[in-house]
Amino acid sequence: MSYVDEVIASVKQKNAAEPEFIQAVEEVLESIRVVIESDEQNYRDLAFLERLVEPERIIMFRVPWVDDNGKVQVNRGYRVQFNSAIGPYKGGLRLHPSVYLGIIKFLGFEQVFKNSLTGLPIGGGKGGSDFNPKGKSDNEIMRFCQSFMTELYRHIGADTDVPAGDIGVGGREIGFLYGQYKRITGLYEGVLTGKGLTYGGSLARTQATGYGLLYLTKELLKINGIDIAGKTAAVTGAGNVAIYAIEKAQQMGVNVVTCSDSSGWIYDPEGIDVALLKEVKEVKRARLTEYAAARKSAEYHEGKGVWAIKTDLYLPCATQNELPLEGAKALVANGTIAVCEGANMPTTLDATQYLQANGVIFAPGKAANAGGVATSALEMSQNSERLSWTFEEVDAKLEQIMINITHNIDEAAKKYDMAGNYVAGANIAGFLKVAEAMKAQGVV
């Protein structure tokens, strides 16, 4: 059996109850097969892939807190410190009832290659909890965050591990987490990113993932001889990534006609009203039914199915495995030009293969959504030098980083005779830097 196949088999056996982690590993290892097989004995002697797929450290802990009725609640907290070969662990915290170890491991594994692609010195990690923020009061959120940090603080630091936001963690949660870290340690340091602007946050971090997605999408279309202006797009999700993807797409002259949340989705042929969407989601923290109620041109549909709408671009920005094979078939039938992932692993493996086999330009999340973590790294730089850059300065750096990523994944795919396969390009380009650093640092 080839070395890659052996390691895939062993990952499946050892992590049988973690399908998302297996999915992420299988995709990466299949892509880098060509690199590994060019020097198989050496990689095998170094047990290189076994080390790549094993987190450096997994931290799991109890998070007890008291709800508004005085009842004690207990959640499970996680931090997976996956790989520190090229920098301190860096990656978000997710608060969602679906969180279990397999989700955090898949996200941490993806983060290793994504962070490498940014060209900045950040390793990969991820954390979170099965806590459900929906319907909780601000005080309940604060008590949860304080309890979570009361354990997490001892494992993180500005030069060791720097968490940030992800699903269910935005500015409010980062503020509560930061306050508790500072209270316990007495340190005023860049231990978290996505902070508020009055206490060390970076301008443009809020917008960065969504804006970055569009910078990459525009450049990728350009490489393929297509102008983004005048195109139509479907976006899924209605959170941080989706909102700022819609905003930037509109600035580029794209008509975005959909968005969604976990209850249903909006079709608004006149174009999503971003100001209204921000009011509903960022201010009221309400459901999309409120958007539909306030907007005449909008239709509301229960459940899933955004892929039924015919558009040129499809930008999934909600969660993992939201786009199944059935959706990919609908997109191909509708003549979709490109699918660029704002979320982490939103497309199932069979759907990805179907899209690629049918000529759809496909940008994987680890490249397309890297603008968020890249701007987090810019926030770390600003914290280290105790200065803040202007919005324009950060945004210009973000745009250049996304353009560089686009060309790097394109060139890596070409170099390994897989022109146009940006999944392979991203995995190979991300892997090579991590691999070189790991080899240089010996068996650790």
Q: Does residue number 311 form part of the binding site for ligand 2IT (CB under 6 A)?
A: no
Q: Does residue number 356 form part of the binding site for ligand NDP (CB under 6 A)?
A: no
- Pick the closest to residue 372 from 152, 172, 165, 136 (CA basis): 165
Q: Does residue number 167 form part of the binding site for ligand NDP (CB under 6 A)?
A: yes
Stretch of 8-16, 88-96, 243-251, 435-443 contacting ligand 2IT, by CB under 6 A: 88-96
Among 77, 87, 342, 425, binds ligand NDP (CB under 6 A): 342
Among 81, 193, 202, 406, binds ligand 2IT (CB under 6 A): 193
Helix/strand/coil (H, E, C) string of the chain? CCHHHHHHHHHHHHCCCCHHHHHHHHHHHHHHHHHHHCCHHHHHHCCHHHHHCCCCEEEEEEEEEECCCCCEEEEEEEEEEEECCCCCEEEEEEECCCCCHHHHHHHHHHHHHHHHHCCCCCEEEEEEECCCCCCCCHHHHHHHHHHHHHHHHHHCECCCEEEECECCECHHHHHHHHHHHHHHHCCCCCCCCCCCHHHCCCCCHHHHHHHHHHHHHHHHHHHCCCCCCCCEEEEECCCHHHHHHHHHHHHCCCEEEEEECCCEEEECCCCCCHHHHHHHHHHCCCCHHHHHHHCCCCEEEECCCHHHCCCCEEEECCCCCCECHHHHHHHHHCCCCEEECCCCCCECHHHHHHHHHCCCEEECHHHHCHHHHHHHHHHHHHHHHCCCCCHHHHHHHHHHHHHHHHHHHHHHHHHCCCCCCHHHHHHHHHHHHHHHHHHHCCCC
Pick between residue 166 and residue 410 the one whose CB is nearest to ligand 2IT.
166
Instruction: Provide the pairing of β-strand 299-302 with 72-83.
Output: unpaired
261 binds, among ligand NDP, ligand 2IT, none (CB under 5 to 8 A by kind): ligand NDP
Contact string 365-404 vs ligand 2IT (x = CB under 6 A) = -------xx--x----------------------------
114 as an active site residue: the answer is no
240 binds, among ligand NDP, ligand 2IT, none (CB under 5 to 8 A by kind): ligand NDP
Rounded (10°) angle between helices 370-385 and 205-223: 130
Q: Does residue number 90 form part of the binding site for ligand 2IT (CB under 6 A)?
A: yes
Q: Does residue number 344 form part of the binding site for ligand 2IT (CB under 6 A)?
A: yes
317 binds, among ligand 2IT, ligand NDP, none (CB under 5 to 8 A by kind): ligand NDP
Which residue, judged by CB position, is nearest to ligand 2IT in the bound state?
92
Pick between residue 241 and residue 363 the one whose CB is nearest to ligand NDP.
241
Min dist. Cβ of residue 358 to ligand 2IT (A)? 28
Residues 29-88 that bind ligand NDP (CB under 6 A): none
Evaluate whether 412 touches 429 at the Cβ level (below 8 Å).
Answer: yes
177 binds, among ligand NDP, ligand 2IT, none (CB under 5 to 8 A by kind): none
The one catalytic residue in 105, 114, 126, 218 is 126
90 binds, among ligand 2IT, ligand NDP, none (CB under 5 to 8 A by kind): ligand 2IT
Among 18, 20, 140, 261, binds ligand NDP (CB under 6 A): 261
Burial class (CB in 10 A: 0-12, 13-18, 19+), 363: buried
Q: Does residue number 206 form part of the binding site for ligand NDP (CB under 6 A)?
A: no
Pick between residue 123 and residue 425 the one whose CB is nearest to ligand 2IT.
123
Min dist. Cβ of residue 371 to ligand 2IT (A)? 9
Evaluate whether 53 touches 4 at the Cβ level (below 8 Å).
Answer: no
Q: Does residue number 238 form part of the binding site for ligand NDP (CB under 6 A)?
A: yes
Min dist. Cβ of residue 16 to ligand 2IT (A)? 25
Contact string 241-260 vs ligand NDP (x = CB under 6 A) = xx------------------
CA distances from 74 to 130, 177, 428 (A): 10, 18, 41
Pick between residue 8 and residue 402 the one whose CB is nearest to ligand NDP.
402
Residues 84-113 that bind ligand NDP (CB under 6 A): 96, 98
Give catalytic residues, as residue numbers.
Answer: 126
Return residues touching ligand NDP (CB under 6 A). 96, 98, 165-168, 209, 237-242, 261-263, 317-319, 342-344, 369, 372
Return residues touching ligand 2IT (CB under 6 A). 90-92, 114, 164, 166, 193, 344, 372-373, 376
